[in-house]
Amino acid sequence: MTARRVFLEIGTGNDLHGRDYTKAAVRAVQDAIHHSSLTLLRTLNIDPRTMEVDVTVGVQQPEKVDHSAVKAALPHGRINVNVVRGGLDIPEEGANDHTVIASAAIAVRLDLAAVRVAG
């Protein structure tokens, strides 16, 4: 059976002055995972390493995001990172600077046929 999405969480992150798209992306992922809990994994005795985790991050300059840094922000699962054009760049008036805002969506998929409820 194909893994099915059982969880979706979203988050936002920013880099106020460094123009660091990776930092904003990692913060968006951290925001998403810091206000969620996958208690169903413990409840159903599922090994968290078996999760398929799809991360989509939106920033204005996707090519400037280090995929391995985003992946390292997640504690478990088989992780796939996709960075797309999105988010916002907010210029600072009168300065050669801008704020980078990233958005992230984290989807967790499980092979439900393989899940056996702990007794």
Span 47-74, pLDDT tens digits: 888 899 999 999 999 999 999 999 999 9
Position 68 scores a pLDDT of 98
Residues of the chain with pLDDT > 70, as a percent, come to 95
Give the pLDDT mean for 20-34.
97
Residue 35 in any domain: the answer is yes
Burial 46-82, CB ≥16 within 10 A → b, else e = beeeebbbbbbbbbbebeebbbeebbebbeebebebe
Residue 119 in any domain: the answer is no
Give the pLDDT mean for 2-11.
92
CB-based contact 45:70 (threshold 8 Å):
no
Higher pLDDT, 18 or 1: 18
Give the pLDDT mean for 85-96.
90
Q: What is the CATH number of the domain that holds 62?
A: 3.30.1330.20
Residue 53 in any domain: the answer is yes
Q: Which two tokens stand for residue 102?
A: 């990233």
The pairing of beta strand 98-110 with beta strand 52-59: antiparallel
Question: Looking at the 3D structure of the chain, how many domains does it have?
Answer: 1
31: domain range? 4-114
